[in-house]
């Protein structure tokens, strides 16, 4: 059998496996679902006229989010990127610093570092979690950094490496135990990019609550959405207070006077977005259950398809299965683009992982370690339709 025949056969098998789960209709990658109190809360918000950054839904959303995640404090903001920007700033990241982030991440992680005037320093991932590889990173830091006055310094650039930002890829928790030990041993602030992992737990504890701070995203394609939106999670009362202050233009409380005591940011989540979020949070447990059921159906459907595996949550972890993910066997890496073309032409929206950060022009000169695993993964990852509503539609 020639190569083209093999490629066609694999594409046909993948399409058939997906169709077995989702039916014959077209399917997007991930779409929101509004089957609860969304319309009711939005109308209540409109009727109140409090649609901007002041209103009861913002406060309620923060309280409900804290209850769900177990974080002591949450601060709701306009998107996940702004949440990460403020978290890094409050973690002490300054202009001229470096911040360790995975090369395999969405561009927002790197962008937020640059908003602080700092430089992203790209690190490798592991196939087991798709997140930062703490064992490989420890060896790299031993050989390329030194401690000066309690700070981790890059020997080559002379810059302080101030923080590390693990990202929980597609909702699968990274190896937080290993990463936390590296952060401690090398004097790095730990800020979690949990944008994709609302509802994911590492050893029973919600992602985003392990580091100094964690950040979430509620973009339209996330597990729940506020349209645009994000949040900062922390267990530190002073960090929470300062985050809320900074994201509300650093305005000092006063009945009528506008006085600001530091450079602030207009990042506060509007009340109308929070109203949507409150309704979505009410339905989150059901949506997570549906996404887990979708994973189980996909796993059964792909069981006999050779050359491809379905990404499974790491041991002792609970993934939200935000995006269901296929991982091609290494010898099938050259078939990725054929699969993407075939599935999309068949009306099944699939997507590759992101372009690795150091391959983007704006980050091409940033420091990086050996990224061999990330390079391998990015050539073999494919996201397939993952909406929670697919379970209802296919039943």
Average pLDDT over residues 102-107: 98
Identify the pLDDT of residue 132.
Answer: 98
Contact 188, 60 (CB under 8 A): no
CB count in 10 Å sphere of residue 110: 23
Identify the pLDDT of residue 25.
Answer: 82
SS3 83: helix
Rg (CA), the chain: 22
Tell which of 262, 281, 300 closes a domain: 281
Average pLDDT over residues 59-81: 98
Q: Do 209 and 345 lie in a common domain?
A: no
Q: Do 71 and 12 lie in a common domain?
A: no
The model's pLDDT over 137-165, given as tens digits with 9 standing for 90+, comes to 999 999 999 999 999 999 999 999 999 99
Identify the pLDDT of residue 256.
Answer: 93
Q: Do 140 and 222 lie in a common domain?
A: yes
Report residue 124 CA to chain centroid gap: 17
- Quote the CA–CA distance of 176 and 147 in Å, as a whole number: 23
Tell which of 249, 281, 313 closes a domain: 281
Q: What are the tokens at 394?
A: 């296919």
Q: Do 297 and 221 lie in a common domain?
A: no
The model's pLDDT over 340-363, given as tens digits with 9 standing for 90+, comes to 999 999 999 999 999 999 999 999
Q: Do 254 and 292 lie in a common domain?
A: no
Q: Do 244 and 114 lie in a common domain?
A: yes
Q: Do 194 and 151 lie in a common domain?
A: yes
Looking at the chain, how many residues does it have? 395
Identify the pLDDT of residue 114.
Answer: 98
SS3 300: helix
Where do runs of H (alpha helix) occur along the chain?
3-22, 38-48, 56-69, 80-90, 107-115, 134-144, 176-185, 237-246, 271-301, 336-345, 372-378, 389-394
The model's pLDDT over 284-302, given as tens digits with 9 standing for 90+, comes to 999 999 999 999 999 999 9
Identify the pLDDT of residue 3.
Answer: 44
Q: Which of 12-21, 209-218, 247-256, 386-395 shows the lowest mean pLDDT across its residues? A: 386-395
Q: Do 187 and 146 lie in a common domain?
A: yes
The model's pLDDT over 241-258, given as tens digits with 9 standing for 90+, comes to 999 999 999 999 999 999
Identify the pLDDT of residue 137.
Answer: 98
- Quote the CA–CA distance of 161 and 91 in Å, as a whole number: 12
Element of type H or E holding 310 = strand 308-310
Output the pTM of the full model. Answer: 0.95
- Banded pLDDT at 7 (limits 50, 70, 90): low
Instruction: Count Cβ atoms within 10 A of the Cβ of residue 44 and give its class: 0-12 exposed, 13-18 middle, 19 or more buried.
Output: middle
Number of domains in the chain: 2
Residue with tokens 């994000």: 230
Contact 276, 227 (CB under 8 A): yes
- Banded pLDDT at 4 (limits 50, 70, 90): very low
- Quote the CA–CA distance of 203 and 65 in Å, as a whole number: 20
Contact 385, 22 (CB under 8 A): yes
Whether the predicted pLDDT of 53 surpasses 80: yes
Residue 134's domain is classified under what CATH number? 3.40.640.10
Q: Tell me what the pLDDT averaged over the chain comes to.
A: 96
Q: Do 139 and 72 lie in a common domain?
A: yes
Q: Do 199 and 333 lie in a common domain?
A: no
Identify the pLDDT of residue 9.
Answer: 86
- Quote the CA–CA distance of 164 and 254 in Å, as a whole number: 37
Q: Do 124 and 8 lie in a common domain?
A: no
User: At residue 359, what are phi and psi to the nearest 5 degrees?
Assistant: -90, -5
Q: What are the tokens at 17?
A: 């496996």
User: Domain limits at 229?
Assistant: 38-281
- Quote the CA–CA distance of 203 and 169 in Å, as a whole number: 17
Q: Edge-to-edge strands of the sheet including 205-206?
A: 205-206, 201-202, 317-318
Residue 20's domain is classified under what CATH number? 3.90.1150.10
Q: Do 287 and 370 lie in a common domain?
A: yes
Tell which of 253, 281, 309 closes a domain: 281
């Amino acid at each position: 059998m020639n190569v083209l025949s093999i490629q066609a056969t694999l594409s046909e098998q993948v399409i058939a496996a997906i169709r077995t789960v989702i039916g014959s209709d077209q399917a997007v990658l991930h779409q929101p679902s509004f089957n609860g109190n969304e319309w009711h809360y939005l109308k209540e918000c409109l009727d109140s006229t409090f649609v901007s950054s002041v209103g009861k839904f913002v406060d309620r959303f923060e309280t409900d989010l804290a209850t769900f995640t177990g974080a002591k404090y949450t601060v709701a903001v306009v998107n996940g990127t702004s949440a990460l920007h403020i978290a890094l700033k409050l973690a002490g990241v300054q202009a001229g610093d470096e911040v360790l982030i995975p090369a395999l991440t969405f561009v927002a992680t790197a962008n937020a570092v640059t908003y602080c005037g700092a430089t992203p320093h790209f690190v490798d991932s592991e196939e087991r979690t798709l997140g930062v590889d703490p064992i490989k990173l420890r060896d790299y830091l031993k050989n390329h950094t030194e401690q000066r006055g309690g700070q981790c310094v890059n020997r080559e650039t002379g810059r302080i490496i101030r923080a590390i930002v693990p990202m929980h890829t597609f909702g699968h928790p990274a190896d937080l135990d290993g990463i936390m030990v590296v952060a401690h041993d090398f004097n790095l602030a730990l800020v979690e990019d949990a944008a994709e992992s609302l509802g994911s737990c590492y050893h029973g504890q919600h992602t985003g609550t392990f580091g100094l701070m964690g950040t979430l995203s509620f973009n339209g394609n996330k597990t729940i959405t506020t349209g645009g939106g994000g949040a900062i999670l922390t267990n530190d009362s002073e960090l929470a207070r300062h985050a809320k202050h900074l994201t509300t233009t650093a305005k000092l409380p006063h009945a009528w006077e506008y006085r600001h005591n530091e450079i602030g940011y207009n990042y506060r989540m509007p009340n109308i977005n929070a109203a949507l979020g409150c309704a979505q949070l009410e339905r989150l447990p059901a949506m997570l259950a549906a996404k887990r059921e979708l994973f189980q159906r996909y796993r059964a459907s792909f069981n006999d398809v050779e050359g491809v595996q379905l990404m499974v949550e790491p041991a002792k972890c609970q993934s939200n299965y935000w995006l269901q993910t296929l991982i091609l066997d290494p010898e099938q890496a050259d078939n990725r683009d054929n699969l993407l073309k075939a599935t999309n032409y068949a009306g099944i929206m699939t997507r590759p992982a992101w372009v690795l950060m150091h391959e983007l022009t704006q980050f091409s000169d940033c420091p990086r370690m050996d990224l061999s695993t990330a390079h391998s993964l990015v050539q073999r990852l494919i996201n397939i339709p993952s909406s929670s509503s697919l379970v209802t539609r296919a039943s």
